[in-house]
Amino acid sequence: MRITHLDAIEVLDSRGNPTVEAWLRLEDGSEGRAITPSGASTGMHEAVELRDGDPQRYGGKGVQQAVGHVRGEIAAALVGSAPADQRALDDALRALDGTPHKSRLGANALLAVSIAYARAAAASRRLPLYRYLGGDEAALLPVPCLNVINGGRHADNTVDFQEFKIVPHRAPSFAEAIRIGEEVFHALKSLLHAHGLSTGVGDEGGFAPNLHSNEQAIELILKAIRAAGYKPGDDVALALDPAASEMWHHGRYRFFKSNQSERDSAAMIALWDDWLQRYPIVLLEDPLSEHDWDGWSELTRQLGERVELVGDDIFCTNPELLRRGIKEGVANAILIKPNQIGTVTETLDCAAEAKAAGYGCYVSHRSGETEDSFIADLVVALGCGHIKTGSGCRGERTAKFNRLLRIEHELGARARFAGRGAFVR
């Protein structure tokens, strides 16, 4: 099926920053659109998000160059061509850019085109996107991990760790998991209000109060779970993303927002060991820095049988980094973010390689999100079993939940809910 049209414009993400939207049409009239998200807490090995750097527009964050690449060089190469499949299209995009991290044309430009093509191809085949990407067996709905308290780079408060999440893993369906998650989210809001704490939200829709300690965030969430009528651990567990790379300072971890203390790798591992004993935590994402490979290996040796240890910054959805992690015994799961690698096929390949090695896969949004719900279809296509896409509010977050609710309804009796078994340990 020939590509007959490709265009792009500069649109806005959830932080009010510019990003790329691409629009692609095939010769049978099938169309696809896609918007690329953007991260704030980013790994150093991520594919390059091309920004203009012009201080006179959007404080230098414009993406007119990336948009121009789609309209110009990419369109010139693709319009009139008939890719054999998604891999052929993505291979053409990678060859056209010609750099290891997609720095010439921009991963934000390439990913928008890649996803737009996937949507158009799915429409041409009269398939839902999750089936186009994952085949007939794609029917597993994920456990939503709702980020209900924000800290770190995602909020201007006194909390060091970036994400405190609730995990309604005992629900019988995705729809019921969302209901439970939302009930806990609203109970937490009431609890914060009763304590005179802020109920304003951070970048991902979680509350961002000033707290006395990182532990206080955990204690408040446990109280909210009970207030909503559920039992911590049994009904609703916890997941954390400390984003420890943001705390890394000259080989140590600096608690720069709370008590100004520092810890070495061994002390951080001891902290997580203590928290796992005290709290019902089923997942730790980036509990150590992307620079701390030795620490990660020791962490995995000590705690890998007790909790899912997810590598985000250390892997960057990159098969090469994942292979090193597998060889060195680092983590037991990988975070999957399409814009870290830059094309749909590379995202699928990385997840497949992780699964083949016995690693879990955890699909994720970015802090600078959009109304594009691609990752909802992606998590079902991959059968990963769990997803993080923000808290219980903000339209760019609930767009993913709503898409998953529609998928579950569409699948009907074929739909399965991952539940507690989604978490590697």
Q: pTM for the complete prediction?
A: 0.96
Residues 122 and 156 in one domain: no
* Mean pLDDT value across residues 386-408: 96
> Is 114 marked as binding a ligand?
no
pLDDT tens for residues 239-274?
999 999 989 988 999 987 666 689 999 999 999 999
- Residue in the block written with tokens 């369906």: 173
Neighbours of 394 (CB within 10 A): 18
Q: Tokens at residue 423, please?
A: 């978490």
Task: Give yes or no for a contact between 357 and 328, defined as CB atoms under 8 angstroms apart.
Answer: no
- Which amino acid does the sequence have at 228? A
In the prediction, which pLDDT does 99 show?
A: 96
Residues 174 and 198 in one domain: yes
Residues 186 and 289 in one domain: yes
Out of 126, 150, 183, pick the residue that ends a domain: 126
Domain assignment present for 20? yes
Return the closest-CA partner of residue 401 out of 202, 146, 198.
146
Mean per-residue pLDDT of the chain = 95
Domain assignment present for 400? yes
Residues 147 and 289 in one domain: yes
Is the pLDDT at 41 greater than 70? The verdict is no
Distance CA 339, CA 47 (A): 7
In the prediction, which pLDDT does 258 show?
A: 60
Out of 95, 126, 157, pick the residue that ends a domain: 126
Residues 122 and 207 in one domain: no
The proportion of the chain whose per-residue pLDDT surpasses 90, expressed as a percent, equals 89
Tell me, what CATH number does 63's domain have?
3.30.390.10
Residues 167 and 211 in one domain: yes
Domain assignment present for 132? no
Helices and strands per DSSP (H, E), number in the chain? 14, 17
Distance CA 117, CA 77 (A): 14
Out of 70, 95, 126, pick the residue that ends a domain: 126
> Which residues does residue 292 pair with via DSSP β-bridges, in sequence order?
none
Give the ranges where 40-149 is alpha helix by DSSP (H).
Answer: 64-69, 75-78, 86-97, 107-124, 129-134
On the CB side of 68, CA atoms within 13 Å amount to 8
Residue 204 known to be catalytic? yes
> Is 355 marked as binding a ligand?
no
Residues 191 and 337 in one domain: yes
Tell me which residue range forms the domain holding 110.
Answer: 3-126
Residue 105 has phi, psi (to 5 degrees) of -95, -20
Q: How confident is the model at residue 154 (pLDDT cuts 50, 70, 90)?
A: low
Q: How confident is the model at residue 158 (pLDDT cuts 50, 70, 90)?
A: confident
Residues 115 and 62 in one domain: yes
Domain assignment present for 296? yes
Domain assignment present for 133? no
Residues 145 and 41 in one domain: no
Task: Please identify which of the residues 337, 369, 396, 408 carries the catalytic annotation.
Answer: 337
Residues 285 and 335 in one domain: yes
In the prediction, which pLDDT does 410 show?
A: 98
In the prediction, which pLDDT does 425 show?
A: 72
> Is 90 marked as binding a ligand?
no
Tell me, what CATH number does 249's domain have?
3.20.20.120
Domain assignment present for 229? yes
Give the DSSP letter of residue 318: -
H or E element in which residue 352 lies: helix 344-356
> Is 173 marked as binding a ligand?
no
In the prediction, which pLDDT does 252 show?
A: 94
Task: Please identify which of the residues 183, 204, 290, 346 carries the catalytic annotation.
Answer: 204
pLDDT tens for residues 1-19?
999 999 999 999 999 999 9
Residues 107 and 192 in one domain: no
> Is 94 marked as binding a ligand?
no
pLDDT tens for residues 325-336?
999 999 999 999
Residue 346 known to be catalytic? no
Alpha-carbon dihedral 10, 13, 19, 21, rounded to 10 degrees:
-60
Domain assignment present for 135? no
> Is 337 marked as binding a ligand?
yes
12: helix, strand or coil: strand
Is the pLDDT at 40 greater than 80? The verdict is no
In the prediction, which pLDDT does 213 show?
A: 86
Distance CA 54, CA 42 (A): 21
Q: Tokens at residue 230, please?
A: 């559920």
Give the DSSP letter of residue 156: S
In the prediction, which pLDDT does 424 show?
A: 80
The span from the first CA to the last CA of the chain, in angstroms, equals 44
Domain assignment present for 324? yes
Residues 67 and 207 in one domain: no
When divided into structural domains, the chain yields a total of: 2
Dihedral of alpha carbons 350, 355, 359, 363, sign: positive
pLDDT tens for residues 368-392?
999 999 999 999 999 999 999 999 9
In the prediction, which pLDDT does 156 show?
A: 64
